């Protein structure tokens, strides 16, 4: 069993930095999580890490929490800004411009709540699909 807060931390680690800089590996039986980064010792994982007892923590793209989540939010809360946000995502710096727009509309806090809720739902669904038991008792919401 894995504590949800530990799973969430591993997910954040996996998504920090450039794509595939960081990896987190979960032992499905013990709930223990191992971390490895391009900037650390490559032997951070247990010797038997390739067995069926282990699974890599997904990144946000595997859980469809990248651009598609942004567009879902825009469609639901500010559909009149859809074309503007689409334009943002055709160039570098899209998330910065997107968050600036949300801030100007006083929706940035709502975005963070939405993003956190959808991330939690996606992680729990991923656990269910992979037969991973999750302890939610450390959650306040």
Give 32's Cβ-side CA count (13 Å radius): 7
**Residue 55 in contact with residue 7, Cβ under 8 Å?**
no
Mean pLDDT of the chain: 91
Give the residue ranges of the chain where pLDDT is below 50.
141
Query: Which pLDDT belongs to residue 54?
Result: 95
Query: Which pLDDT belongs to residue 41?
Result: 64
DSSP-assigned states of every residue in 36-58: EETTS-TT-S-TTTTSTTEEEPP
Query: Which pLDDT belongs to residue 138?
Result: 61
pTM over 0.75: yes
Contacts from 83-86 at CB under 8 Å and sequence distance 24+?
none
d(CA 134, CA 141): 15
Three-class SS of residue 139?
coil
Query: Which pLDDT belongs to residue 98?
Result: 97
């Amino acid at each position: 069993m894995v504590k949800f807060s530990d799973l969430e931390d591993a997910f954040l680690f996996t998504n920090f930095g450039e794509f595939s800089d960081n990896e987190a590996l979960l032992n499905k039986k013990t709930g223990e999580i191992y971390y490895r980064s391009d900037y650390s010792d490559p032997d951070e994982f247990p010797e038997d890490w390739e067995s069926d007892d282990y699974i890599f923590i997904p990144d946000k793209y595997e859980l469809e929490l990248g651009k598609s989540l942004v567009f879902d939010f825009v469609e639901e809360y500010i559909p009149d800004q859809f074309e503007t946000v689409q334009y943002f995502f055709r160039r570098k710096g899209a998330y910065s411009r997107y968050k600036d727009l949300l801030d100007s509309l006083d929706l940035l806090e709502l975005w963070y709540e939405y993003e956190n809720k959808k991330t939690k739902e996606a992680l729990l669904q991923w656990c269910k699909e992979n037969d991973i038991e999750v302890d939610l008792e450390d959650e306040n919401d």
